Amino acid sequence: MLGTYLPQAAYRHGMRFAVALPPEAASHPELEAASARFRREMKTAALGMALALIPLYALYDWIAFQSLYFVAWLLAFVLLLVRPFRRAFRTTLALKRREGWSAPTARPGKPEEEDEWWANGFTYHNPHDSAVFVAKRVGIGMTVNSASRGGKWFLGVTLGLAAAVLGLVCALLLVSELVSPKLELAEKQVRIDYPLHSASFDLGEVAELSLTDEIPRGAKLSGEATGKVLRGSFRLRELGKAQLFVYRDRPPYIRFRLDGRYVYYNEEDPARTRELYERLQGSR
C-alpha cells in the first residue's frame, strides 16, 4: 500500500493525489508543501505500524490471539495510511477549484467534477455514473463504483462473504485456543475430542501402547504447530502418518501404534498423563 500511495505525491499521468491537474500546476508551492507533509505523515505512520508488529512475536505461543491481533493490525494499517492521502486529496482539490485549473480527466467524456468521487484514490463513489467497474486512478486494475446499483450489490455480497469467512476462521481459532483436546475411554473405545481435529479407535486396534518422552521430528499436514502445542495431522520421520494432540515440552506422551498411523496424546500436567496411561493399560 505504501508503494501505491507514496508515488501519488508527484505529478504523474496528469494527476496528483488522484486529482486531474494541468502541467503548469504541477510545481505550485502549496502543492509541494502538501506533498512534503504527505510524505512525512506516511513515513511516520509506516514506522508506527512496523513497531506495532512487535507484539506478534510475544503472541507466538497463542496462534489464535496472534491471528486476531494481525487482522486488527491490518485494518488499522489501511485506515491509518488512507488518512494522509485523503487530507492531501482535499487540499489539492480545494486548490484546483480556487485557482480555476482545468484538466482533462483520465476517462474521456467524463466531467472534471469526477475528481471529487476519488477521495481515497482507489475507491470510486459517483451516484451520477451508472458504470459498475471503472479504472483506478491510484494503482492498477479496476475498482467498483460503490454508488451504482450494481456496485452496491457486488460490494455487499463480496464484503458479506469475506466477513462471514473471517468471522468463522476467527471463531475456530479462538475455540482451538480456549478448548484443549480431551481423551475419553468408554467400553474399550478411545475417543479424542477436539473442535478442529479428532480421533477415535478401539483399544483392540492398538498394536502397541507406550509412554515416551520424545516425538520424532516431522512436518505438519494440517492443524496447528506452535511453540506450545502440536495438534492435527503430521508426517513424522521414520514413523509416517500421525495425529498429535500434545503440549510441547510436557513429556511424557502416550503413543498409540495403529494400522498405518500413530496417535500421540498428553495432558498439560505430566502426572495426569501417567495416570491416564495406567488406566489405558489396565483396560486392554
Q: Residue 197 has what pLDDT?
A: 85
Cis bond before residue 7 (omega within 30° of 0): no
Burial classification of residue 146, based on how many CB atoms lie within 10 Å of its CB (0-12 exposed, 13-18 middle, 19 or more buried): middle
Domain count, the chain: 2
Cα distances (angstroms) measured from residue 211 to each of 16, 19, 215, 253, 256: 69, 70, 11, 6, 9
First CA to last CA across the chain, in angstroms?
61
For residue 203, how many other CB atoms are within 10 A of its CB? 15
Same domain? For 171 and 32 the reply is: yes
- Which of 27, 15, 9, 16 has the alpha carbon at shortest distance from 105? 15
Contact 159/241 with Cβ under 8 angstroms?
no
The DSSP code for 100 is T
Q: Residue 169, Cα to own-chain centre: how many angstroms?
A: 10
Same domain? For 171 and 216 the reply is: no
Same domain? For 103 and 6 the reply is: yes
Same domain? For 62 and 26 the reply is: yes
Listed residues 129, 154, 175: the one ending a domain: 175
Listed residues 175, 193, 214: the one ending a domain: 175
Same domain? For 170 and 204 the reply is: no
Same domain? For 93 and 197 the reply is: no
pLDDT per residue of the chain (284 residues) written in tens, 0 to 9: 777 888 888 888 888 998 889 988 888 999 999 999 999 999 999 999 999 999 988 887 777 788 889 989 999 998 898 899 999 999 999 999 999 888 766 555 554 457 888 888 878 888 888 889 988 888 888 889 998 999 999 999 999 999 999 888 888 777 777 888 999 998 889 999 998 789 999 998 999 999 999 999 999 999 888 778 899 999 999 899 999 999 998 999 999 999 989 999 999 999 999 999 999 998 87
Same domain? For 88 and 194 the reply is: no
Structural domain range at position 23: 2-117+165-175
Same domain? For 71 and 208 the reply is: no
